[in-house]
Amino acid sequence: MEKFLIKGENRLEGELSIHGAKNSALPILAASLLSGECVIHNCPRLTDVDAACNILNYLGSTTKREETSIVVGASNSDNYCIPDDLMRMMRSSIVFLGAIIAKCGRARISMPGGCELGPRPIDLHLSALEKLGVVIEEDHGYLNCSVPGKLRGAHISLPFPSVGATENIMIAACLASGETVITNPAREPEISDLAAFLNACGAKICVTSEGNIHIFGVEKLYPAEHKVISDRIAAATYLSCGAITGGDILLKDVCCEHLAAVLPTFEEMGCTLSIEKDSVRIKSKFPLNPLKCVRTMPYPGFPTDAQSPLMAAACLAQGSSVFVENIFESRYKQVPELLRMGADIKVEGRVAVVHGVQELHSACVRCTDLRGGAAIAVAALAAQGESELLAIEHIDRGYENFENNLQSIGACIVRVNDGKE
């Protein structure tokens, strides 16, 4: 198994280019199943992207990487089943459900995690698809989905603006008969990017001034080229790296409009930001100021994915910072690992209070999840001594060339194999 060795207390300085957005590339790759012969530019090299390509290959498409682009060939198969091992490779594999149903009129997939149906986010996907005419039955850990006749447009009001449910509806409704209207949809930039790709393929999707999404069904989608937007969460993570190390970092190829809820938090911490349309420079100096209250919210609010790395930076602030997690119940998994490094964090329910400490120390720590793993790496960059970061496959899911990028701006981080399987 691989791990990172990170020597802390190095000031980061230099410039980085931000890769394409994971959360945009995955639904776009899923949607390409309906058109084929697509070229997806700025597609990041991530294990989650590899998993999406493996699913496409299993479903009969071909995928070929050409530098930063992926060429997706037309599917030559009517395969409508994703086996359990492929579903488990990528947590967001549920986004393929709408595409398979729209293409084949049926689908069979394992439920994420193999758990029983109950009140959880996947229910939003399933209830929405049922309104489009999909019949769904549970079969020993699998979902059997079928469409008697043809998908039909519907008015779908989401009780929560779920990103994944919005994406599944958009993809499936493109080939439904009639008009589909989504009220209370997710408004993340990745949703707009998916709409832009689908429209390039011949779909008819528009967003009203009230934020509702209208999808007018078409008979067929066609090949297209598309460039994925930059990854705003990767940008927020590297900004956290700069803040906690007293660094001076220029991030290029970013969309600062997508970071509108994130950038003010770094200014509140006392960092100086130079913001351009497609770049941002952060200059940090100690001591960092505490954050009065960071509340995660659906876009355009503060993104839940950026909470973990920002919390790591707040561990060295001079005072107490408050975080309120409103999206996921288990978004503080990184806290026990940060405590091992000397952080002072109290968690009660959805609220975490971070009492800043003067220093963090090295430790053997483990990535708990994708963003939590990034947070622990952020903390290790400022900790005294050398930390071992285990289970780094979580980081590889969402950050391209993570250690190489950090090395290029002065971090002392190396990837090694510990010889264990």
Other CB atoms within 10 A of residue 343 CB: 24
C-alpha 99: how far from its chain's center?
19
SS3 1: coil
Q: Is 23 annotated as a binding residue?
A: yes
Last residue in a domain, options 193, 227, 261: 227
Q: Is 396 annotated as a binding residue?
A: no
Predicted local distance difference test score (pLDDT) of residue 141: 79
Place of tokens 């008015």: 155
Last residue in a domain, options 175, 205, 227: 227
Q: Is 344 annotated as a binding residue?
A: no
Q: Is 122 annotated as a binding residue?
A: yes
Q: Is 285 annotated as a binding residue?
A: no
CB 60 within 8 A of CB 103: no
Helix or strand run (H / E) with residue 351: strand 351-355
Q: Kindly give, in sequence order, each residue whose CB lies less than 8 Å from that of residue 210, ignoring residues fewer than 6 positions away.
A: none
Place of tokens 């080939």: 175
What is the three-state SS of 73-129? CCCCCCCCEECHHHHHHCHHHHHHHHHHHHHHCEEEEECHHHCCCCCCCHHHHHHHH
Strands in 179-183's sheet, in edge-to-edge order, are 155-157, 179-183, 213-216, 204-207
| C-alpha neighbours within 13 Å on the C-beta side of residue 317 | 27
Is 283 found in the same domain as 406? yes
Q: Which of 184, 164, 185 is nearest to 121 (CA)?
A: 164
- The boundaries of the domain holding residue 341 are 2-18+232-417
Is 120 found in the same domain as 38? yes
Strand boundaries in 166-284, DSSP class E: 179-183, 204-207, 213-216, 225-227, 248-252, 272-275, 279-283
Predicted local distance difference test score (pLDDT) of residue 140: 82
Is 169 found in the same domain as 244? no
Predicted local distance difference test score (pLDDT) of residue 112: 60
Last residue in a domain, options 186, 208, 227: 227
Q: Is 91 annotated as a binding residue?
A: yes
Is 409 found in the same domain as 332? yes
Is 188 found in the same domain as 122? yes
Q: Is 136 annotated as a binding residue?
A: no
Q: Is 327 annotated as a binding residue?
A: yes
Is 178 found in the same domain as 32? yes
Q: How far apart are CA 166 and CA 334, in angstroms?
A: 28
Other CB atoms within 10 A of residue 421 CB: 4
CATH number at residue 129: 3.65.10.10
Q: How far apart are CA 307 and CA 30, in angstroms?
A: 27
Catalytic residues: 115
DSSP string, 214-229: EEE--S-----EEEPP
Partners of 399 in the β-ladder = none
Partners of 185 in the β-ladder = none
Predicted local distance difference test score (pLDDT) of residue 328: 85
Is 122 found in the same domain as 80? yes
Q: Is 415 annotated as a binding residue?
A: no
CB 52 within 8 A of CB 26: yes
Q: Kindly give, in sequence order, each residue whose CB lies less than 8 Å from that of residue 278, ignoring residues fewer than 6 positions away.
A: 252, 253, 254, 255, 256
- 247, two tokens: 């660094």
Per-residue pLDDT of the chain (421 residues; tens, 9 = 90+): 899 999 999 999 999 999 999 999 999 999 999 998 999 999 999 999 999 999 999 999 999 999 999 999 998 888 999 888 888 887 778 899 999 999 999 999 886 643 333 345 688 999 999 999 999 998 887 889 999 989 999 999 999 999 999 999 999 999 999 999 999 999 999 999 999 999 999 999 999 989 999 999 999 999 999 999 999 999 999 999 999 999 999 999 999 999 999 999 999 999 999 999 899 999 998 899 999 999 999 999 999 999 999 999 999 999 999 999 999 877 899 999 999 999 999 999 999 999 999 999 999 999 999 999 999 999 999 999 999 999 999 999 999 999 999 999 999 999 999 766 5
Is 287 found in the same domain as 178? no
pTM of structure: 0.95
Is 222 found in the same domain as 152? yes
Is 283 found in the same domain as 218? no
Q: How far apart are CA 338 and CA 311, in angstroms?
A: 10
- 393, two tokens: 């496959």
Q: Is 123 annotated as a binding residue?
A: yes
Domain count along the chain: 2
Q: Which of 12, 16, 9, 7 is nearest to 316 (CA)?
A: 9
Q: Which of 255, 257, 247 is nearest to 231 (CA)?
A: 255
Is 192 found in the same domain as 258? no
Q: How far apart are CA 122 and CA 196, in angstroms?
A: 25
